[in-house]
Copies of this chain bind each other. A is one copy, B any other.
Amino acid sequence: MLVEDVLKQRRVTPLTAHEKRALESAIAEVRDHGPREILVRQGQPCHESILLLDGLISRHVDGRDGSRQLVAIQVPGDFVDLHGFPLKVLDHDVGTVTPCRIALVPHARLDPLVEAMPALARKLWFLTLIDAAIHRAWMLRIGRLKAIARVAHLLCEINLRLRVVGLSDGRQFPLPLTQTDIGEICSLTAIHVNRMLRELRDSGLCTFRNARVDIHDLPALARLGAFEPDYLYLQPQATAGMAGA
């Protein structure tokens, strides 16, 4: 089932079978895309939202000087630009990082659903607010953490988010990002990211190589990254052993 992972293990009443069917029936198309394709452009009217089934998608803003800041990274199960449903226009670009499989949900099909099913509407609203909570955590990461801690924090977050949808075993997972990507997330140069990754490796906390992450000491990594997963609004059992406190 395509919407199986939506809201999975979050601190909210899960989608009912009926709601899942309704959402699924709102999907107009399932499509595949190559890597580094732009799916939604900043400032363009948007009439459909993307459910990510496979691959990685980034949401980012490009500066005119060539700099880029990622404002979100989406993993399978994420309703990538659901915020475009009420907003109608996005303030950033959406693009694939890796080859992706996506499901398209036209807003015209979502309208009657949220009108008729207030409980579903409430859950979708909740979903978009988790996104905002992650934004806040990213502000903390960029604003308050040192370079090494930023990278550690990011790896902890992705590890946990992937684990929820079964793509990490809690210690190892594929992560097809370049060091430049990580820099654009953490607001660091690729060169400095490289040094931080080496430092993580040398100190035995975690290895990132060949697009794979292998966390050797999760508690230490979480501590270094000051990682407090509350902001993901996961059920308590999903975050067991993940916090850095």
Contacts and interface: CB of A to CB of B under 8 A. Distances in A.
A122 B118 contact: no
Q: Is the interface of A mostly helix, strand, loop or mixed?
A: helix
A92 interface: yes
Given A87-B129, A115-B118, A143 B142 contact: yes
Interface stretch (A23-31, A63-71, A192-200): A63-71
Contacts of A231: 91
Nearest to A135: B135
Contact of A92 (B43, B136, B138): B136
Given A69-B140, A91-B231, 10 more contacts: A43-B230, A63-B144, A71-B139, A83-B129, A83-B132, A86-B125, A86-B129, A87-B133, A91-B230, A142-B187
Question: Size range of the interface on A?
Answer: 35 or more
A148 interface: no
Interface of A: 11-12, 42-43, 61, 63, 67, 69, 71, 83, 86-89, 91-92, 114-115, 118, 121-122, 125-126, 128-129, 131-133, 135-140, 142-144, 187, 226, 230-231, 233
A58 B142 CA distance: 19
A139 B138 contact: yes
Contacts of A83: 129, 132
A133 B129 CA distance: 11
Contact of A129 (B63, B128, B138): B128
Contacts of A122: 86, 114
A139 B142 contact: yes
Contacts of A86: 12, 122, 125-126, 129
A135 B92 CA distance: 12
Contacts of A11: 88-89
A131 B128 contact: no
Nearest to A71: B136
Contacts of A121: 114, 118, 121, 125
Contacts of A89: 11, 233
